[in-house]
A = this chain, B = another copy of it.
Amino acid sequence: MLPAMPAHPGTPRETPGDAPRRAPAGAAVLREDVTDAIRAAVFEELAAVGFARMSIEGIARRAGVGKTAVYRRWKSKLALVLDLVSAVAAEGLPAPATGSLHGDVRALLEVAAHALRHPVASRVIPDLLVESARHPEIADAIKAALLDSRQGVAAVVVREAVARGELPAGTDPDRALDLIVGPLYWRLAVVRGELPAGYLDGLATSAVAALRAG
């Protein structure tokens, strides 16, 4: 197989598969697109077979790369999943910035509802929660991903609402996330109930009242 021409010929780049091009002195740069393909494959493998039965081989096959391309980046499937959780968290959500607390909460709920109803997410999230009982590292990664006190989207929404005088100073963003996302998570991921028409609108109104009352 001929390696694809790198986009920037001057940069040493990783080739697809397991036969890296000879790089100039210095560390080879790991190709971002290969990394992305592997991450996407991990997500799909997690959904298809779950963490316990997932293998590096299956991931590599699904990503269309060799196993070495995976091991060059992550030493184990646990490391891979931890990194995936962190990457999803770091990517984060764009802060809605609608100009009102209600608008921001409503926008957050829309994104969260979309994510929770996604068939892949709806299998991967419960699976990782089960594994987190066995692997404290997974529990810690999820916690770090979700408790976003400083940079997370909840923190931004709260900070802006405080600046507008819609919430009292000192409002805790983690508690805000509990109140905004918790009811929706319970309904979609635990009960697996429906979202009746108008449910998200009402939930946004309720969440704002809950935030102000706390």
| Stretch of A20-28, A129-137, A158-166 at the chain-chain interface | A129-137
A180 nearest CB across to chain B (Å): 9
Complex Cα spacing A146 to B192, Å: 10
The total of chain A residues at the interface (CB under 8 A) is: 44
* A192 engages B139 (CB within 8 Å): yes
Copies of this chain in its oligomeric complex: 2
Per the 8 Å Cβ criterion, residues 120-152 of A in contact with B are 122-123, 126-127, 129-130, 132-133, 139, 142-143, 146-147
- Interface residues in A176-214 by Cβ distance below 8 A to B read 177-179, 181-187, 189-193, 199, 202-203, 205-214
Measured between beta carbons, the chain B residues less than 8 angstroms from A202 are 175, 214
Question: What 0/1 readout, one digit per residue, does chain A (1-45) give for beta carbons within 8 Å of chain B?
Answer: 000000000000000000000000000000000000000000000
